[in-house]
Amino acid sequence: MQNTKNSDNLILREYVPDQFKDCVESVWFIETLEQTHDILIPPDQFVYIIFPISDKGFFHNGKLINQPRIDGITLKNVLIRFLPHTKILGIRMYASGLYPFLPITGRTLTDCNIPFPMPNNHELLQNIQKAGSDDEAIKSVYKLLATLHDKKREDSTKLVKTLYFHLAETNEATNIQQFCHQHNTNYTALSRQFSKILGISAKKFERLIKFRKAVKQLVDSPDSLLQVGIDCGYFDQAHFIKEFRYYMNMSPSEYLELLSERNEHVNYKGIKLSII
């Protein structure tokens, strides 16, 4: 299923996955038109595999990216700059979604982007970059993922995946110890899994997801800061503002004003990009 969103200078086409649905959240394409386009991405709990399709590439915090990359979980803002007539393909994965395909530890990826490993996959990567249509490129994406998939590694992410979806589906505070008891494990074992696969602790990950929910509600609804804070599990408005400043280096009101001044399309349901 395709979801297309346009702004004056950017086209986003997003596709719901029909394979590896427990790992892949979406596959998307971004194209810019005549102007340079800057995107501010708030801290994000997803992992991305990025394929520059046009020869221009893009800038990631000022660094030119013109080869396939992996972007890990981020705990701080990322600034992306697209030059005119840039096109990229992205695979948006749940936090534990990359590990079944590539045995890369979370600590290697947190707040980092690294080259996509190319040995034995060079031809498939070229097929993705040279595809004549979205459908053709997506077929090559799934073919690449199928060659990399390891069932044992995916099975090893089950506990982390279960807690992730639990955190994503509730605004209530999660008792990690109680979760461990319900799933016949202990906090030490869970923490070890989170550190290995995600690169951060379960508590830090819970905090990040809570923040992302708050940003989405802040942008998508007319609710007050107090209501957003309460709905997303913060103690009060002051607690919410403090957390927002911690992640964004600005207040919620300053962020909304920034978006309003630019009057650009903001998409948190899809690839969760905010354009500045």
- What is the tens place of the pLDDT at every residue in 217-265? 998 899 999 999 999 989 999 999 999 999 999 999 998 888 776 544 4
Helices (H), the chain: 106-109, 122-129, 134-148, 151-156, 158-169, 176-182, 187-197, 202-220, 225-231, 237-248, 252-262
Same domain as 26, residue 111: yes
Q: Calculate the alpha carbon distances from 64 to 58, 59, 79, 102, 124 in Å.
A: 6, 4, 12, 24, 23
pLDDT band at 276 (very low <50, low <70, confident <90, very high): very low
Same domain as 215, residue 180: no
In whole angstroms, give the CA distance from residue 60 to residue 125. Answer: 21
Q: Which CATH number do you get for residue 217?
A: 1.10.10
Q: For residue 124, what pLDDT is reported?
A: 80
Q: For residue 270, what pLDDT is reported?
A: 34
Same domain as 227, residue 117: no
Decide if 233 contacts 173 (C-beta within 8 A).
yes
Decide if 218 contacts 228 (C-beta within 8 A).
yes
In a domain, 261, yes or no: no
Q: For residue 120, what pLDDT is reported?
A: 73
Same domain as 139, residue 28: yes
pLDDT band at 268 (very low <50, low <70, confident <90, very high): very low
